Amino acid sequence: MSYRDTYQQWVDEPTLDPELKADLKNMADDETTKEEAFAAPMAFGTAGMRGVLGAGIGRMNIYTVRQATEGLARFMDTLSDETKARGVAISYDSRYMSQEFAYESAGVLGAHGIKSYVFDQLRPTPELSFAVRHLKTYAGIMITASHNPKQYNGYKIYGPDGGQMPPEESDKITKYARSAADLFAIKSLNVHVLRAKKLMQPIGEDVDEAYYAEVATVTINHDLINKVGKNMSLVYSPLHGTGRIPAQMVLRNAGFENFRLVPEQSIADP
């Protein structure tokens, strides 16, 4: 199937998200953009996938996120019932559509009977890795574009140890995702159904506090911090991302009291 055929398939899809319909209309006469969006699916590997937001099999949107999660869910379906029951932890950053993608991921997992533990607000990647180990989930999903510009978003899968999913498992997940070729047929439960069926549980302050306590155990140079921490002047910028609250808590718990945030860069913004 050519990229034009795939594009037309999306145009003809009656259930397509309205915003993506508008995106398709905007690229109708732009063959370069159309080819970039529909010529090939997004690459998926041990580092997950990352790309420009928008319509198409080569873009980040709810359908490509569903497909990636379907791959994880089908892989988990091959594991033991005990392993599958451990569920998946999910976090997200401040990028456009991050929370929506997190909920879509939970929805696809829920359609397979897999429980998700979703942070109640945006949290950084290290805390997601910690949550996987702390909650003993089988996997973790992080919705983040990392350092890329605001037009991007991304999707990463983490293994039981909180690190990136190893190549062998990642290859299997990719294979299962590609087998779900009809993106519009992938089932995703909405948040209300997930909650009613107890297939989605919020992650909140209890995991935050456990994370801060764990970070405190690996802090070095305690004597030096005790000596100069109260008076040392520090400036921290979250760069409009997820670090504002965690960084403040970690610094304060470590003994640094004289620090301030860059106000212009402290509010989460894509």
Distance CA 17, CA 33 (A): 19
Q: How would you classify the pairing of strands 200-203 and 116-119?
A: parallel
The Cβ of residue 66 has, within 10 Å, a number of other Cβ atoms equal to 25
Catalytic residue (choose from 146, 170, 179, 237):
146
Q: By the 8 A CB rule, do 66 and 183 touch?
A: yes
Active site residue 188: no
List, by residue number, the catalytic residues. Answer: 146
